[in-house]
Amino acid sequence: MADVFDKVKEIIVDKLEVEEPQVTMEASFKDDLEADSLDVVELVMELEDEFDMEIADEEAEKINTVGDAVNYINSNQS
């Protein structure tokens, strides 16, 4: 769990150019991390590559917070 969060945080810090403390489980990509829709799509792409998984569009649309992404990865990782 912690590993996934750390990795996700690292990617978010890199992609969205935010500070590490801003990236909490509750942080919303759009409201708290100032990501636009395309940023979120791009982030999901990065996560797919990093965790070697495919996230369907319908699932990706439900990912609004950092926690959503971490939980999705945790429950779908093979």
Partner 1 sequence: MLKGKNALVTGASRGIGRAIALELAKQGANVAVNYSGSEDRAQSVVEEVRQKGVESFKIQANVADEQESKAMVKQVVSDFGSLDILVNNAGINRDNLLMRMKEDEFDQVIDTNLKGVFQCTKAVSRQMMKQKGGRIVNVSSVVGVSGNAGQANYTAAKAGVIGLTKSTAKEFASRNILVNAVAPGFISTDMTDALTEEQKEGMLSLIPLEKLGEPEDVARVVRFLASDDANYITGQTIHIDGGMVM
64 close to 38: Cβ distance less than 8 angstroms: no
Q: How far is CA 58 from CA 5, 35, 69, in A?
A: 22, 19, 13
User: Which of residues 10 and 41 has its CB atom nearest to partner 1 in the complex?
Assistant: 41
d(CA 35, CA 65): 11
Contact residues toward partner 1 (CB under 8 A) are 36, 38, 41-42, 45
User: Which of residues 26 and 54 has its CB atom nearest to partner 1 in the complex?
Assistant: 54
Residues paired with residue 28 on neighbouring β-strands, in sequence order: 65
Taking the complex as a whole, the smallest distance from the CB of residue 1 to partner 1 amounts, in Å, to: 28
User: Which of residues 44 and 66 has its CB atom nearest to partner 1 in the complex?
Assistant: 44
Active site residues: 36
Taking the complex as a whole, the smallest distance from the CB of residue 42 to partner 1 amounts, in Å, to: 6
Taking the complex as a whole, the smallest distance from the CB of residue 24 to partner 1 amounts, in Å, to: 26
Q: What six digits make up the tokens of 72?
A: 């999705």
